[in-house]
Amino acid sequence: MRINQPPFNIIFKFSLPLIIALLVVGLSLGGESATLLLRFERVGIQNGEIWRLLTANFVHLGWSHALLNIAGLVLIWLLFGQRFSQTGWSIILISSLLGTTLGLLFFNPTLTWYVGLSGALHGLFIAGCIAEIKLKYRMGIVLLVILAGKILWEQFQGPLPGTSDAAGGPVIVDAHLYGALAGFAALFLKPEPLNQDH
């Protein structure tokens, strides 16, 4: 990202992750009552509480989990934030959020509840990698291979060592897979990458 941009332009480019981070922090301040009301709860969703498919992504196991996901969001924006317009990123985000929870709903029938943004973060990351590749930046290939390797490891070996301790609870690795697939699928809705300097 160019450092000689006017402050308003910088704030605008970071408005989406800033809104997400503030939402995560605000809901974390709401404590357990907010989490219970908003988390992915299979029985609740089946009884019509469909908001949980979206809100589950913004509540967390605790502060360590929330801050870890915010840090991941900031890293993604530093790497790829210039690669899509705000509209493009919004399409990818919504697809990744809903793709994560719908994947869990339909393909993990024994999972009763879920919280966290990590599935959607995988969707944002894969979209950023593919944008880099389309714009012929080799780093996109390297990062995509690393992400694919991580997801494959998780599918066959379980969570990466230490991630459950860092998050403060169990890591649902399938959420990462579904989020990544949804982020990839969002690109077919035509959010075109922008050829701008980092």
Size of the chain, expressed as the number of residues it contains: 198
* Cα dihedral: 134, 135, 140, 145 (round 10): 20
Structure tokens at 73: 């969001």
The total of other beta-carbon atoms located within 10 Å of residue 13's CB is 19
pTM of the predicted protein model: 0.92
The Cα-based distances of 16 to 10, 50, 51, 58 in angstroms read 12, 23, 20, 14
**pLDDT bucket at 1, cuts 50 / 70 / 90:** very low
- Can you give the pLDDT at residue 6? 59
CA distances for 28 relative to 60, 63, 92, 184, angstroms: 7, 7, 24, 29
Measured CA to CA, the distance from residue 198 to residue 178 in angstroms comes to 28
Q: Which of 44-48, 56-60, 69-73, 164-168 has the lowest mean pLDDT?
A: 164-168
Q: Which CATH number fits domain 7-189: 3.40.605.10, 3.30.413.10, 1.20.1540.10, 3.10.180.10?
A: 1.20.1540.10
Report pLDDT for 100.
98
* Percentage of the residues of the chain whose pLDDT score is greater than 70: 93
The share of the chain scoring above pLDDT 90, in percent, equals 85
pLDDT digits (tens, 9 = 90+) for 36-45: 999 999 999 9
141-190 residue pLDDT tens: 999 999 999 999 999 999 999 999 889 899 999 999 999 999 999 999 87
Domain ranges of the chain: 7-189
Which burial class, exposed, middle or buried, applies to 115 when counting CB atoms under 10 A from its CB (0-12, 13-18, 19+)?
buried
